[in-house]
Structure 1
């Protein structure tokens, strides 16, 4: 499975847990931190944890090791490091405060094949 396919299945896992405003960014030209970011948010701590857990399980089911997961207990900003892809799962209040999409505004967005509601 290549990175673009993994981004899609990770986005679907987020969508299954009703994550909101799921965005994927191609970071190759703008950052050395990761090749891709997936960013989304949940409306409460419990949902944020469920989304992060779904990302971890989906990545592992597809043969990818989770390098690190930070912030899970607090569930305000959970970072899931899947190697070339870093997933940021925010609590909605934190998402708008940190506004990674604006911070990394030069990054190209990757089209996702999901149907988001809300």
Structure 2
């Protein structure tokens, strides 16, 4: 094989790789609703349980939505959190702030417009964040997914 043949094979392979990457690109994230949809999809894919989303628009400046969910074990809570942070980074190019991943009891992921809490069930029951953020509102404000 001649050197020119090898070079053209490398160029063809690189072009094919670029073409494949473009075809599998992540969906465009333009709004907080798009980000919420990505987060809910990631949580569902990773078997998070009891997923609840709370609309925070007009209530606080910390974000547009809060999502609360559970994992069955510390290992699952950590895995759900890491995969979610990676999915957000892949889709937006932004690194999410994350707290609590080391212990895996309660992980907070701040993705910007959406704040996500991943709990072990016992810890979630103890803190009852849903009740705190809903206050006196009726239960219809909690939108289970």
TM range (shorter): 0.7 to 0.9
Q: Tell me the TM-score normalised to structure 2 length.
A: 0.70
**Residue ranges of structure 2 left out of the alignment (5+ in a row):** 1-28
Count of residue correspondences: 112
If you compute each CA radius of gyration, which structure gives the higher value, 1 or 2?
2
Q: CA deviation at 1:43?
A: 1.0
Pairing 1:28–2:60 present: no
Q: Which has the higher contact order (CA 8 A, sep 6+)?
A: 1
Question: Whose helix fraction is larger, Structure 1's or Structure 2's?
Answer: 2
Q: Tell me the TM-score normalised to structure 1 length.
A: 0.85
1:61-107: CA deviation from partner (whole Å, max 9, x where unpaired): 11141341000001111001111111111111111111111111149
Q: What SS does structure 1 have at the residue aligned with 2:92?
A: coil
Q: CA deviation at 1:54?
A: 1.5
- The runs of 4+ residues in structure 1 deviating greater than 3 Å are 106-112
Question: Whose strand fraction is larger, Structure 1's or Structure 2's?
Answer: 1
